[in-house]
Amino acid sequence: MTAVPNELNPSRRILLGPGPSNVHPRVLRAMATPLVGHMDPEFIELMEEVKALLRAVFQTENEMTFPVSGTGSAGMETCLVNLLEPGEEILVCINGVFGMRMAEVAKRCGATVHTIETEWGKVFEPEQVKEALSGINPAVVAVVHAETSTGACQPLKPIADLAHEAGALFLADMVTSLGGMPVELDANGVDAAYSGSQKCLSCPPGLAPVSFNEKAMAKITGRSTTVQSWYLDVTLLNQYWGSARVYHHTEPISMNYALREALRLVAEEGLEARFARHRDISAALGAGLQALGLGLISQEGHRLPMMNTVTVPEGADAALVQKRLLSDYKIEVLGGLGRLAGKSWRVGLMGHSGQIENVVVFLTALEEILTDTGALSGPMGAAGAAAKKYRETIKG
């Protein structure tokens, strides 16, 4: 007989990667509360509360705002599979990994996919999108608001206007931006958007908030073909999350408890205060990195506060630094994705992870590791000296 594994006892981590972020104890507590059935009147009330709280953070009046059961990618798939009919055209703006993923999903929806690209770390200028739109007839124009692979923040309104002039719906990936910066769905003219629970909402991964405005819903209800995915069919999901309450699938109860509590934390802090906290913490990190002589990859003026892509300095081993941060300091950051692999570290300051003490301990650890491995030679500050002493003591 195989031995029963030990009771789960995961290490404490400071999660400063691209998600998941650290989860507030109140959210963990909510997840550990007893289940009610998914058709229980108490759960139905909770569904309504979750929808209202999500509208506030999406900054929208959209009735059709709810969490899809699945991670951020399920939100992406939900939007694309519902908004695109086979044979229709889409323009996807690609400046990182998640734009590439959107193009791939759209292709699998049977759409004719047009793409434009910019250098990774940069954002799209309206002229480039305008040019790409001439001569094509897309049903959807799609962008990534907060490109987690590069740290760039795409301005939405000018692209939304161009999409609408071209008769297309405007779709935005807000997986990383939601809850950490303004997304202003309605003011920006975003017709459909999706997000994930584990980034700036600081919930565990497992739910994908989505929002569709009336124009997007009209497109979906007016389809001439059925949506290829039964599970992600928004018309069916609307009957479950809307007033009809027709059973579709079993909603992940505990995840909804978690999301509700996470959204309550957002509401208590207040959107403006929460956005300011992300900006302030990121500025603190930036100042510290600058003091170490390290730069950021993303375009100046379009940097995300919650995702800082740090340039790996000459002489540093990106993977080794990442490994030591985790083993010696319990800090998770991840390396660059795709074409930024080995060239950057992705330092996330998302939601509950965005605390000044996390920034200070990260900078201390980074300085100590870079100095110990010979990539930095300057004299260390007080905290770095303490970290160095500690390493010498424990490593002998």
Using CB under 6 A, pick the residue from 60, 69, 71, 238 that binds ligand PLP: 71
Using CB under 6 A, pick the residue from 53, 144, 183, 262 that binds ligand PLP: 144
Q: CA torsion, points 167, 84, 96, 70, in degrees to nearest 10?
A: 130
* Choices 67-75, 225-233, 249-257, 332-340 (CB under 6 A): range interacting with ligand PLP: 67-75
Q: How far is the CB of 363 from ligand PLP (least distance, A)?
A: 24
* Choices 131-139, 141-149, 155-163, 360-368 (CB under 6 A): range interacting with ligand PLP: 141-149
| Residue (of 11, 25, 128, 144) closest to 76 by Cα position | 144
205 binds ligand PLP (CB under 6 A): yes
98 binds ligand PLP (CB under 6 A): yes
Q: How far is the CB of 176 from ligand PLP (least distance, A)?
A: 4
Q: Where are the beta strands (DSSP E) in the chain?
A: 14-15, 64-69, 89-94, 112-117, 138-144, 146-147, 152-153, 169-173, 192-194, 207-212, 307-311, 331-332, 334-335, 344-348
Tokens encoding 112: 């004719």
Size of the site for ligand PLP (CB under 6 A): 15
148 binds ligand PLP (CB under 6 A): yes
Q: How far is the CB of 97 from ligand PLP (least distance, A)?
A: 8
175 binds ligand PLP (CB under 6 A): yes
Q: How far is the CB of 174 from ligand PLP (least distance, A)?
A: 8
For residue 281, what are the CA distances in angstroms to 295, 300, 307, 371?
16, 17, 11, 24
335 binds ligand PLP (CB under 6 A): no
173 binds ligand PLP (CB under 6 A): yes
* Choices 53-61, 78-86, 170-178, 388-396 (CB under 6 A): range interacting with ligand PLP: 170-178
Q: How far is the CB of 39 from ligand PLP (least distance, A)?
A: 27
* Angle, vertex CA 196, rays to CA 53 and CA 283, nearest 5: 90
72 binds ligand PLP (CB under 6 A): yes
Residue 210 or 365 having the CB closest to ligand PLP: 210
| Residue (of 184, 100, 146, 136) closest to 309 by Cα position | 146
Q: Where are the beta strands (DSSP E) in 333-379?
A: 334-335, 344-348
Q: Strand 207-212 and strand 64-69: pairing?
A: antiparallel
302 binds ligand PLP (CB under 6 A): no
Q: How far is the CB of 95 from ligand PLP (least distance, A)?
A: 11
Q: DSSP 3-state assignment of 217? A: helix
| Residue (of 152, 189, 117) closest to 299 by Cα position | 152
DSSP 14-31: EE-SSSPPPPPHHHHHHH
176 binds ligand PLP (CB under 6 A): yes
CB within 8 Å of 372: residues ≥ 6 apart: 388, 391
Q: How far is the CB of 45 from ligand PLP (least distance, A)?
A: 27
Q: Tell me which residues touch ligand PLP (CB under 6 A).
A: 18-19, 71-73, 76, 98, 144, 146, 148, 173, 175-176, 196, 205
